[in-house]
Amino acid sequence: MDTQLPVSAFIIAKDEEDRILKAINSVKDWVDEVIVVDSGSADRTVEIAKGAGAIVFFNEWDGYGNQKRFAEDQCRNDWLLNIDADEAVTPKLAQEIISLFTPAPEDDIYKVYIVDVFPHEKTAKDWAFGYWQYRLYNKGKGRFSESPVHDTVRPKEDVKLAKLSGRVDHYSQRSIQFSVEKLNRYSDMQVADMIERGRSVSSWRLLTEFPLAFFKSYFARKAFLYGWWGVVVSVNYAFSRFIRIAKFYQHQLNEASKARN
């Protein structure tokens, strides 16, 4: 594919040597440039990214939103495509994006569907759970928020929004061990964000969060179609939801103890 669109693709990364090449290769043949912002990798992430033709910058980690805003500022094009280091644009989505620029996109910001791919899979199942996010956009019409946890493009007023039918494969799990370590780190950030925003959480959720989250994953998100692996997926998801509430409850107990003393 020799098409070069007036689009800058950007990726934030840290210690992604096993996954970042797939991400870069999924876009590098048809975008104008690939920008990688590294926050201090101790592995070969930077070397691999440069070897694949990406332009690499260093920026000290400042939360998901600010890291992506820094990456936006390094891009030379108005049109931006964001993918994460553990994602890959599918060929169908690539062709769809290319067709948008013949001659130019009619809308300002496009949502794409990002679907889970597990370590034993090459690509996502037809029924794989996914979520919609704004990932292809004109940076004059919207930018990522400054939230340390919620890395979401915030559209400006009166912009034209649209959805693309192609998908992004999301290789989020290296292993169960990796997933547990990640959810532990991420739940810390979620709790810090909840505290900063003055959130309150009912203690009853300590009882309801796990079973409701398991039901949501196993049935509503169709994890049961994976067989026994669906049980693993659903338990992990339910625990990730529960541990966030448990950590926040612990914070409430600590604050109450300080107040009494």
226-252 pLDDT, tens per residue? 999 999 999 999 999 999 999 999 999
pLDDT of residue 261: 82
Burial of 20 (0-12, 13-18, 19+ CB in 10 A): buried
Write down the pLDDT at residue 2. 61
**What does the alpha-carbon distance between residue 222 and residue 255 come to, in Å, rounded to a whole number?**
39
Query: Going by DSSP bridges, is the β-strand pair 87-89/153-155 parallel, antiparallel, or unpaired?
Result: unpaired
The model's pLDDT over 164-187, given as tens digits with 9 standing for 90+, comes to 999 999 999 999 999 999 999 999
pLDDT (mean) for 41-62: 97
The mean per-residue pLDDT over the stretch 210-225 comes to 98
Return d(Cα 147, Cα 189) in angstroms, integer: 11
Inter-CA distances, 259 with 2, 194, 245, 251, Å: 65, 20, 21, 12
- pLDDT of the residue at 148: 84
DSSP SS3 for 64: helix
* Residue 122: pLDDT over 60: yes
Mean pLDDT of the region 192-208: 94
Cβ-in-10-Å burial (0-12, 13-18, 19+) of 234 comes to buried
The pLDDT tens digits of the residues spanning 52-89 come to: 999 999 999 999 999 999 999 999 999 999 999 999 99
* Residue whose entry in the numeric block shows the structure tokens 């280091």: 85
The predicted structure's pLDDT at residue 35: 98
Q: If we measure between CA atoms, which residue out of 5, 201, 228 comes closest to residue 96?
A: 5
Q: What pLDDT was estimated at residue 60? A: 97
Distance separating alpha carbons of residues 34 and 159, to the nearest angstrom: 26
* Rounded distance between C-alpha atoms, residue 170 and residue 117, angstroms: 6
pLDDT at 1 > cutoff 80: no
Residue among 125, 105, 107 at smallest CA distance from 116: 125
Whole-number Cα distances in Å, 103 to 11, 99, 106: 26, 8, 9
SS3 of residue 43 by DSSP: coil
As given in the structure block, the two tokens for residue 133 are 């996010």
Rg (CA), the chain: 20
- Residue 121 is encoded by which pair of tokens? 């899979």
Taking residues 213-238, what's their average pLDDT? 97
Question: For the whole model, what pTM was predicted?
Answer: 0.89
Under 8 Å CB-to-CB from 242, ≥6 apart: which residues? 206, 209, 210, 213
- Scan for tokens 């891009």, then name that residue: 75
Q: What is the pLDDT of residues 128-166, one digit of tens each?
A: 999 999 999 999 999 999 988 878 999 999 999 999 999
Average pLDDT, integer, range 40-51: 98
Instruction: Report how far apart, in Å, the C-alpha atoms of 221 and of each of 75, 143, 215, 216, 237 are.
Output: 36, 29, 9, 6, 11
Q: What is the pLDDT of residue 30?
A: 98
SS3 127: coil
| Residue 256, pLDDT above cutoff 80 | yes
Give the tens place of pLDDT for each residue, 4-23.
Answer: 999 999 999 999 999 999 99
Residue 103: cis peptide before it, omega within 30 degrees of 0:
yes
pLDDT above 90 covers what percent of the chain? 94
